[in-house]
Structure 1
Amino acid sequence: MTISNQTKDNSNQQASAHANGKHLPGIASLSTQDFKAHRDSFFANMADNSIAFFAAATEVTRSNDTEFSFCQNKNFYYLSGFNEPDALLVLLKREHSQQTILFSLPKDKNQEVWHGRRVGQEQACSVYGVDQCFTLDEKDQHIAEYLNGITQVYFTFDDQPLTQTVFAWLAKVRATIRQGTKAPSKVVDASPIINELRLIKSDNEIEVMRQVNYISCLAHQRAMEKTQAGLYEYQIENEIRHEFTRHGARYAAYATIVAGGDNANILHYTDNSETLNDNELLLIDAGGELAGYAADITRTFPVNGKFTAPQKALYQLVLDSKSSVIEAIKPGVTFAKLNEIANQELTTGLYNLGILSGDLATLIAEKACKKYFIHGLGHWLGLDVHDVGDYHINQDKAQLREFAQGMVLTIEPGLYMPLDDTELDAQWRGIGIRIEDNIVVTEQGYENLTADCPETINDIEALMAR
């Protein structure tokens, strides 16, 4: 069945307007025209007489006849906005024309009674703006026709099932060369093209990310308000999820980390099963997902609402380092430069606290803080939490990609002092601290999407004292 269709200013003003209003002005999402604009940008990077394939995700079985919550392939979603499994998006570019074709599940009353409604072919054209939509059963026939006479084929090489399918299609076409078929002569990895497109966010994408950050900031604030000694970590995780869904972010963007005490020294701690103890810190790394886009925020605060002196000293050092790094963000700056700032601040601070010893200049040159700051300073953020985009890493592992307007990134310095590190003075052991913000690079500087999430010692203690 076929259906055819015959669009440094360091400014926080918009984000603050949402926060000051104490409510969301309407859940942001992308329109059909936004997804069409994404496709048009990809078409512009395709050679004439070429075709591109992007596959949707497949549902994953959780147990017997139940599935995990469906998460769409991000490249497929970026180009289509379509959120059903097993679909295929085809972009066909001839010399004087370009066409978008979707293959998707058919309308089927019996299947829909059991598994939910399907968009179907007719609505796929009218709602999602594709030129044609066919059922999945029609895929092989039509793709063989599309490939005849095409010169180049684009697909993402890291999608193994799609790669195998594309080469099977190509083999079938080449088998008919004696009948006059002209098979493609070149395959091209689509990843570098779509990664570059996704790296620069449009105004509408940034507005969605602004809102999901606002929602996520509310969730972190709720966690601070609800935390007390004796609760389980997972109970605080539940408070965070409650706030996400209450404001329209139905899913977490990643597995929430709620790490009390020494658990904070496990970077990807997601067990969230232990009790919270008096006089310990709680590190929460949590972000909601809205219209496919992620927030990624970390806050660390005392379980009982009051920092001890050692906690306060380390926390202020991390906070000051983060602030110095963010203040340097503008177009033309690189992660390499930001890492220099973070290394200078953290190493000097650890030296002043007596945690590092020796010649300060040598310690800075040797990046001695990395003994306790054991992960990267930040990463791209967007449809994926660790979003796509080239960092331009050189042989020294320095990230030399210059920032440009529309990039969104995280900044997340931290210090980790494991309980079993006997080289540390006892007062520091068992403390793990990370503070993470989400930053948009603007025309002359940056916008901090997480500026309304409490982070200063005074603000945290005042909030938790209510």
Structure 2
Amino acid sequence: MAASWSMGPGTLEVPMSLFAKNRTRLVEKLKPGQVVVLQGGESIPHYDTDIEYVFRQEAYFTWLCGVREEGCFFALDVGTSKSYLFIPRLPKEYEVWMGKLHTCEDFKRMYAVDEVHYVDEIQTILKGLNPDVLLTLSGPNTDSGLTAKEAVFEGIDEFKVDNEILFPVIAELRVIKTPEEIEVMRYVVKVSSDAHKQVMLFAKPGLMEYQCESIFLDHCYRVGGCRHVSYTCICGSGHNAATLHYGHAGAPNSKLIQPGDMCLFDMGGNYAGYAADITCSFPANGKFTPDQKLIYEAVLFARDAVIEAARPGVMWPDMHLVANRAMLEHLKKGGLLKGDVEEMIKLLNAAKNNPEQSKFFNWEVVDRFSGFGGVRIEDDVLITETGVENFTFVPRTVAEIEDFMANGANFK
């Protein structure tokens, strides 16, 4: 039976061939004589205690081999396409606390790799490959500004190492998904969409924001097998919805939801290292006020305009401007703005005390929205030659949201 990655009955079985195909794609972009070496993630303790954070594997390492365990290394010989997994050599006492020790043969079978050795053998095995150069991973994450962790092991200084070639190649490959990867993403977005719908049915004034978060987490894990979410859940209600990354330790989704609040819930499950990222915005009591509808539909129309415009070759800044124009036109119709939309685009970061910018705002109407919070709509989509396939399936129009929250689970 072919090896696969899954969380048991009812969850998606991810074939290990998905990761083998990723390796093949990488080999095609590199040269014989090069050996890729990646270091997996390490378990992290809670400060000075013997308790550890729930382990999550490093993303590039996952992409290449799908290995879940911590403390591993992985090597890929470009010339032969052979894969080498290196696992920690754990003491026998490990079994008392952590369960059965898997052998190298067990790991080879689980992850469908060519060879498995212990980490303390990595120098010897790599020397046997006689590489011209080891390619290690080092490059910036443009969201966080942090740098990918470069592989380091005892004896690496005896090899010629290049840490510049690999990162741009592997980062670009991760942007273009294979059919197998797309199936995993469809699954995790479906699970996350269903979890958001459960939250919409549960949410109401009088609940704490974190109680809504717990419904999302429960569905993703209990139904979808997603042990992890892709980021800290953002469950903002009322004015909190205007804080982009609400939900952090200083504001842990801890407000009481009030009548009349808009809810902005930004949450996504994670399965086999593949992430969903979905935001739903809706009124806590299930019925939009005219002002809430105005703001919500401005964002929805922008979303729709971007989905209509997105194609291979379209630049991100162009889609950004498409979204801005759609929102500004709608807000102008709703009386919040006045004047020429193209002029507004040039002065989008408007300030009330700047006469050149202030002239576009109808401040009597705008001030009515003070404390409103915010609206965000996020979907996970696949860009194809013919347009966009939206993996996200949640109520989106005002009518859909109101009907779903009133009548329950007919939205499928």
Q: Summarize the alignment of residues 203-352 of structure 1 with structure 2, pairs less than 5 Å apart.
A: 203-248=179-224, 249-270=226-247, 271-352=252-333
Query: Which of 402, 419, 429 is the equivalent residue of 2:371?
Result: 429
Alignment match, 1:28: 12
Change beyond 3 A, Cα 1:194–1:108: same
* Amino acid corresponding to residue 300 of structure 1 in structure 2: S
Displacement of 1:367: 5.1
Distance in 2, matches of 1:294 and 1:186, equals 30
- The structure-2 alpha-carbon separation of the partners of 1:371 and 1:151, relative to structure 1 and needing over 3 Å to count, comes to farther
d(CA) in 1 for partners of 2:67 and 2:240? 39
Residue 256 of structure 1 and its aligned partner are, at CA, apart by 0.6
Contact 1:212 1:288 in 2 (8 A): yes
Alignment check: 8 A CA contact 2:136 2:161 kept: no
DSSP 3-state at the match of 1:153: strand
Q: 2:78 matched to 1:93?
A: yes
**How far is 1:422 from its partner?**
10
**Deviation (angstroms), 1:274:** 0.9
The answer to whether the 8 A contact 1:52-1:154 is kept is yes
Q: Show the counterpart of 1:376.
A: none
8 Å contact from structure 2 (residues 138, 163) kept in 1: no
Tell me what 1:446 maps to: 388
1:165 corresponding residue in structure 2: 152
For normalisation by structure 1, the TM-score amounts to 0.75
String of CA shifts for 1:120-143, please: whole Å, max 9, x gaps: 311122232222211122223334
Alpha-carbon distance, 1:85 to partner = 0.6
Asked if the contact 1:287/1:294 (under 8 Å) is kept, the reply is: yes
Measured in 2, the distance between the counterparts of 1:453 and 1:423 equals 31
| SS across alignment from 2:374 | strand
Matches of 1:302 and 1:185, distance apart in 2: 55
Contact 2:294 2:331 (C-alpha < 8 Å) held by counterparts: no
Q: Distance in 1 between matches of 2:292 and 2:162?
A: 59
**Following superposition of structure 1 onto structure 2, how do residues 30-429 of structure 1 map, counting pairs within 5 Å?**
30-63=14-47, 64-94=49-79, 97-106=80-89, 108-146=91-129, 149-158=130-139, 163=150, 165=152, 169-171=155-157, 173=158, 184=160, 187-248=163-224, 249-270=226-247, 271-364=252-345, 366=346, 368=348, 370=349, 424-429=366-371
> 1:240, 1:289 → 2: CA distance?
12
1:356-402 CA-partner distances (Å, limit 9, x unpaired) = 344433113x152x559xxxxxxxxxxxxxxxxxxxxxxxxxxxxxx
- Please give the alpha-carbon distance, in whole angstroms, between the structure 2 residues aligned to 1:206 and 1:123: 28
| Cα distance in structure 1, aligned partners of 2:100 and 2:297 | 52
Measure, in 1, the Cα distance between the counterparts of 2:150 and 2:173. 21
Give a deviation string over 1:150-204, Cα, whole Å, max 9, x none.
32221112497964726x7353x2xxxxxxxxx5375544111111111111112
1:395 is matched with: none
SS in 2 for 1:98: coil
Cα 1:349–1:26 change in 2 (3 A) is: same
Once the two structures are overlaid, the 10-residue window that deviates more, 153-162 or 347-356, is 153-162
The 8 Å contact of residues 260 and 283 in structure 1, kept in 2 or not, is answered as yes
Report SS of the residue matched to 2:281: strand
C-alpha distance in 2, partners of 1:308/1:453? 20
Question: In structure 2, do the counterparts of structure 1 residues 371 and 189 end up closer, same or farther at CA, with 3 Å as the change threshold?
Answer: farther
Q: Alpha-carbon deviations, 1:396-448, whole Å to 9, x = none?
A: xxxxxxxxxxxxxxxxxxxxxxxxx9993124532310011110112311211
Which one scores higher on RCO, CA 8 angstroms, separation ≥ 6?
1
Shift of 1:352: 2.9
Structure 1, gaps ≥5 residues long: 1-6, 8-24, 174-182, 373-420
Amino acid at match of 2:384: T
Looking at structure 2, the residues matched to 65 and 325 of structure 1 have their Cα atoms a distance apart, in angstroms, of 49
Measure how far apart 1:464 and its partner are: 1.8
Post-superposition CA distance 1:71-111 (Å, at most 9, x none): 101111111111111100011234xx332211102365420
Give 1:26 shift.
Answer: 4.6
C-alpha change, 1:235 and 1:188, in structure 2 (3 Å) is: same
Q: Show structure 1 runs of 4+ deviating over 6 A.
A: none
CA distance in structure 1 between the aligned counterparts of 2:184 and 2:155, rounded to whole angstroms: 38
Q: Is the 8 A contact 1:107 1:120 kept in 2?
A: no
Q: Contact conserved, 2:39 with 2:152, CA < 8 A, in 1? A: no
Displacement after TM superposition at 1:337 (Å) = 2.3
The one-letter amino acid paired with 2:51 is T
Structure 2 unaligned residues grouped into runs of 5+: 4-8, 140-145, 352-362, 408-412
Deviations 1:2-47 (A, max 9, x none): xxxxx9xxxxxxxxxxxxxxxxx95324212221111121122222
| Structure-2 change in CA distance of 1:339 and 1:223 (3 Å) | same
User: TM-score normalised to the size of structure 2?
Assistant: 0.84
Tell me if the contact between 1:105 and 1:118 (Cα under 8 Å) persists in the aligned partners: no
Matches of 1:79 and 1:26, distance apart in 2: 25
CA distance in 2, matches of 1:218, 1:75: 28
Distance in 1 separating the partners of 2:277 and 2:310:
18
Contact conserved, 1:104 with 1:120, CA < 8 A, in 2? no
One-letter amino acid matched to 1:434: R
